[in-house]
């Protein structure tokens, strides 16, 4: 029978299923965005901490320069510069 109650309930089900799919997609997008924001925050924190350590390593290299017999300060300075580049790349 055209226009019967079963046709109407089938349309209702399709509408409910479509709404559920849209809500699931929206929720997934929201979770994705929140995860990205959290990851960005972690990367920024890691970059800041690496940069702090690099500053300490630079200070150690400067301290070594005055007493450097084997050229160690040069290597320590290079290591500090590499750490700064790593921090920059994380950002």
pLDDT of 10-35, one tens digit each? 788 888 889 999 999 999 999 999 99
pLDDT at 69: 66
Q: What is the pLDDT of residue 47?
A: 94
Q: Where are the alpha helices (DSSP H) in 1-91?
A: 5-65, 72-90
- The answer to whether the Cα torsion of 53, 55, 58, 63 is positive or negative is negative
Question: What is the pTM for the complete model shown?
Answer: 0.61
pLDDT in tens, 34-48: 999 999 999 999 999
Report the alpha-carbon distance of residue 72 to residue 86 in Å, rounded: 21
């Amino acid at each position: 029978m055209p226009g019967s109650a079963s046709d109407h309930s089938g349309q209702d089900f399709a509408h409910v299923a479509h709404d559920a799919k849209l809500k699931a997609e929206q929720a997934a997008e929201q979770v994705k965005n929140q995860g990205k924001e959290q990851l960005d925050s972690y990367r920024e924190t890691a970059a800041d901490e690496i940069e702090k350590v690099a500053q300490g390593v630079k200070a150690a290299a400067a301290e070594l320069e005055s007493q450097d017999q084997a050229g160690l300060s040069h290597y320590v300075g290079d290591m500090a510069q590499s750490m700064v580049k790593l921090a920059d790349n994380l950002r």
